[in-house]
Amino acid sequence: MTQQAESIVRAANILFENGVMSHTGHANLSARLGADSMLLTIDGQVRNLTADRVATVGLDGVVREGDLDPTNAEIIAMHSEIYKLRSDVGGIIHTHSPSLLAFAMANQALPCRYEALLRWGQSVDVPVATWAPRGSDKSVSAIIDQAKAHPETKAVILGNHGVLVFASDPVATAQLLTVLEEAAEAELAAIGLGGAQSLPESALAAIRESMARVR
- Distance (Å, whole) CA 135 – CA 71: 9
Neighbouring C-beta atoms of residue 14, cutoff 10 Å: 18
- Distance (Å, whole) CA 57 – CA 40: 7
Q: Which residues pair with 41 in a beta bridge?
A: 54
pLDDT per residue as tens, the chain (215 positions): 589 999 999 999 999 999 999 999 999 999 999 999 999 999 999 999 999 999 999 999 999 999 999 989 999 999 999 999 999 999 999 999 999 999 999 999 999 999 999 999 999 999 999 999 999 999 999 999 999 999 999 999 999 999 999 999 999 999 999 999 999 999 999 999 999 999 888 887 888 887 777 66
Q: What is the pLDDT of residue 215?
A: 63
DSSP track, the chain: -HHHHHHHHHHHHHHHHTT-S-TT-BEEEEEEETTTEEEEESSSB-TT--TTSEEEEETTS-EEES---HHHHTTHHHHHHHHHH-TT--EEEEE--HHHHHHHHHT--B----HHHHHTT--SPBPEEPP-STT-HHHHHHHHHHHHH-TT-SEEEETTTEEEEEESSHHHHHHHHHHHHHHHHHHHHHGGGT-PPPPPTTHHHHHHHHHHHT-
Q: What is the pLDDT of residue 213?
A: 73
- Distance (Å, whole) CA 141 – CA 108: 18
Q: What is the pLDDT of residue 66?
A: 95
- Exposed/middle/buried for 61, CB within 10 Å: 0-12, 13-18, 19+? exposed
Q: What is the pLDDT of residue 92?
A: 98
**Helix crossing, 76-85 with 137-149: angle to 10°?**
30
Q: What is the pLDDT of residue 40?
A: 98
Phi, psi of 163 (to 5 degrees): -145, 150
Q: Which CATH number fits domain 2-213: 3.20.20.70, 3.40.50.2300, 3.60.20.10, 3.40.225.10?
A: 3.40.225.10
Q: What is the pLDDT of residue 148?
A: 98
Q: What is the pLDDT of residue 158?
A: 98
Q: What is the pLDDT of residue 170?
A: 98
